[in-house]
Structure 1
Amino acid sequence: MQLILPLHSLIQRTCQFHPWYSTLLSQQGITPESCESTILSDLPLITSERLEQHYYAAAARTEPGLSVYKTSGTSSGIRKAIYYSPEDDEHYIAAKKASFQEWLNAEITGQQTAPPFRKALADMGTGHAASTAMSIFASLGYEADSLSFALPIEEHIRKLSSFKPDLFYTMPSILDAIASAADDLKQFGIRKIILVGEMAPLDWQANIAARFGIEPTDVLDTYGSIEIGAIASYSHTLGRYLFVDGIYAEALPAEQIDPRFEPLPASESVLVLTSSNRTVFPALRYVTYDVVRDFQTILVDGQERQSFRCIVKRIGSELKHGEKISLYDIESVVNRFVPDAELRVSLRNNRLSVHIRSKMLDEERLADIRHAIEHTIGEIGQMIENRMLEGITVTRAADNEQLERGAVKSKKIYF
């Protein structure tokens, strides 16, 4: 997989938009004027610390036509402002549209006589994916609408009932909330679901698809970030996530990112991305802190494509020992026992708690889930054996209990 632009052109462009990057290069003995022989591994990593020091702390950009998206605060207390130029937005929309079209045109389910898709509904809140969804659907020829995730869940259900979209573009946690509140998910007539924003284990995808009356292949999981834009999407045919054009990925050991990080299992690595498509964000060896499993380059239709099997967790600068635990693996285990599960995972006082809401849950299954988490997820079993974890508690949530933080729950481990 190759970058669209030569590396020296990306270096010079990054220095043009982000003058502080030249200082980082000089510390590596590199100058933008003489970098034709530079290879990617020579370049500095764009870590969260460097972004806080240089990018997020910089004065507001004033170029005409910029879009700005505000995200959660950094460790210094500064709220992140991430910019997109019109060119950045065009690349993002084109990448999203291409991945959607490739999947929609594949006729995965084999329903050759199915009526065409006419309506699409975006339900994911604010941010870049939400703001561009309507443009993408309009370009695909759909009648499109959207609603805010901040609305009460009854409003989401009411909108689905009245609009009846063929295609539903949303977040896993919103689907969980809808599935918990609606009596019959098949009534909405949804034929395809596109996911964004959070981890979606395959077992969870299969369970949610069955509840909507569709096949697992009718669910497209996409991976992106506000910093980079569109990154990858899942191929049911290959069983892997494939990177979009213009992205070059590296999979690095955690201790290479930061020597304070403990080594990951042999099959896991931290994803570092370089993008040809971003200008007003320094997307040269940007550290995502996402941990991917089984990263490799494969042949697809005669072309080399970078890929990975799944995202298992995210590590961060606070270096908590709980970051050894994979939420992906915990969700996968739970969904094998109860297909309607919503869960909240927390780690406090060295005890892992898994709190589950499910209409199918009984005492026997609670015990089975606890045993499976402890004995099939190696890192958790090892942490218990080494007394880094005191144990696991698996409990049932009441039907009316609020598992969410704010409007929808977040797919994360709470510390």
Structure 2
Amino acid sequence: MNKSFPWIQSRSGNPSGPSPFSELNQPLLVTAEDLETYYYGPDFPFPEQWQLHMYQTSGTSSGRRKRIYYSDADEAAYLSIKEEVFRAILQGNSYRSALSDMGTGHAEATALAVFRGLGMEADSISFRLPVEQHLEKLSAMKPEVLYTMPSILDRIIKASGDPSSYGIKQVILVGEIASPGWIQRTAQQLRIPADRITDTYGSIEVGTIAYYSYAHDRYIVTEGLWAEGIDTEELGEDLQPLPEGEQVLVLTSSVREAFPVVRYVTYDVVRDLRPILVDGCLRQSFKSLVRRIGPDLKHGEKISIYDIENVVYAHAGKAGLAVEVAGNTLRLHIDSEELSPALMKQIGHEVEGRIPELGEMIRSGILGEIQVLRGHGPANGNRSSAVKGKRIWYS
């Protein structure tokens, strides 16, 4: 890791020390600002001879899309860990068929290999196709296992006459936070037990981070990761203090090569982080994912608040902006006298177009449109987070 990212060693408490992982020489946190400085820049952050896989996601404050790299060893570890997670979720059930109905990115690109590694017949459907063709695929294939995102599953259920007719027996989720209430409602609509809808948690930077275990009533952190929790004060980014029992998740990986997962700040808030015994081994776990406090949001695809601001302020430079995440809906509240209905519609389309894959998902109907509303925003929202003065509300 030091050879790939020498700046990590230079930023440790003792740069000349033998190892950044000793208790006396602990590395500093790797924050979003650090990544913009050292990793997301315009230059390739590795020696030219490195052969790497590249994935793109939302933008940075500079306007560039983030480029995330995986080595061949990273790819192999990712597949192995994900296969073990899916095996734990499926609990030895003899499911024979699986459909991946995802957006884009690493999870989508590797899903078929993982299911086939488990001996299952697997297929996928492109996010570019209209939602009607997703329903036709489900009707024709009748997959026992569906791998998808909460936002996409919402659209499928809404467009279906009887979603239980697809014969789905198990749902594996990734993407937006899936609350227990949402899972219970969705299980009723699919006519399956609630414990047959299992949430997984990951990121394109790290890979699969954790999965929900009904046996332990907690999320279990995957092999190869060590999780720690910090208070927002340690980040020094004008973030509001967290309630007791909540912490910002920080990760260190023993397997990731081409991304600096060394006290990497996820900007995800978790509740009750602590180790527990799982099959006789001590594993880190947490009770629930609460929300994000960083500059990125999840609406089908990851989108940065910087992308949103660049569009809004190009049309209404003096506007007030509040971003609201309400379940699987993303709302932009814009307070400006310059807004007309036509301009509000244009802003929505331009924000969707900042991430091309996001725009395609919305046009195909498998993801809801971004809502642009006039006004100050949800002043009575349940939770908010300040990201260097930028407001994100969770309702």
Aligned to 1:178: 156
The correspondence of residues 19-168 of structure 1 with structure 2, limited to 5 A, is: 19-25=6-12, 28-31=13-16, 34-35=18-19, 38-39=22-23, 42-57=26-41, 59-60=43-44, 61=46, 62-105=48-91, 116-168=94-146
3-state SS of 2:2 partner: helix
Report if aligned partners of 1:173, 1:410 keep a CA contact under 8 Å in 2. no
- Higher relative helix content: 1
Distance 1:287 1:409, change over 3 A: farther
Report if aligned partners of 1:157, 1:182 keep a CA contact under 8 Å in 2. yes
TM-score, normalised via structure 1 length: 0.72
Report if aligned partners of 2:68, 2:259 keep a CA contact under 8 Å in 1. yes
- Give the AA of the match of 1:43: P
Distance 1:216 1:106, change over 3 A: farther
Distance 1:346 1:37, change over 3 A: closer
Residue 277 of structure 1, aligned match among 231, 247, 255: 255
3-state SS of 2:34 partner: helix
Aligned to 2:225: 247
Query: What's the CA shift string for 1:293-314, capped at 9, x where partnerless?
Result: 1212222333222111111111
**Alpha-carbon separation, structure 2, partners of 1:75 and 1:309:** 32
Q: 1:39 offset after TM fit, Å? A: 2.1
Q: 1:259 offset after TM fit, Å? A: 5.0
- Higher relative strand content: 2
3-state SS of 1:87 partner: helix
Unaligned runs of 5+ in 1: 1-13, 108-115, 332-341, 350-403
Q: 1:207 offset after TM fit, Å? A: 1.1
Q: 1:343 offset after TM fit, Å? A: 4.9
Q: How many residues align?
A: 324
**Alpha-carbon separation, structure 2, partners of 1:250 and 1:185:** 40
- Give the AA of the match of 2:258: V
**Alpha-carbon separation, structure 1, partners of 2:39 and 2:232:** 23
Q: 1:36 offset after TM fit, Å? A: 7.4
Percentage of identical aligned residues:
43
Report if aligned partners of 1:345, 1:414 keep a CA contact under 8 Å in 2. no
Unaligned runs of 5+ in 2: 296-304, 307-319, 336-360, 371-391
3-state SS of 1:237 partner: coil
- Give the AA of the match of 2:70: Y
3-state SS of 2:171 partner: strand
**Alignment RMSD:** 2.8
- Give the AA of the match of 1:47: T
Query: What's the CA shift string for 1:94-134, capped at 9, x where partnerless?
Result: 11110111121256xxxxxxxx3111111112100011111
3-state SS of 1:274 partner: strand
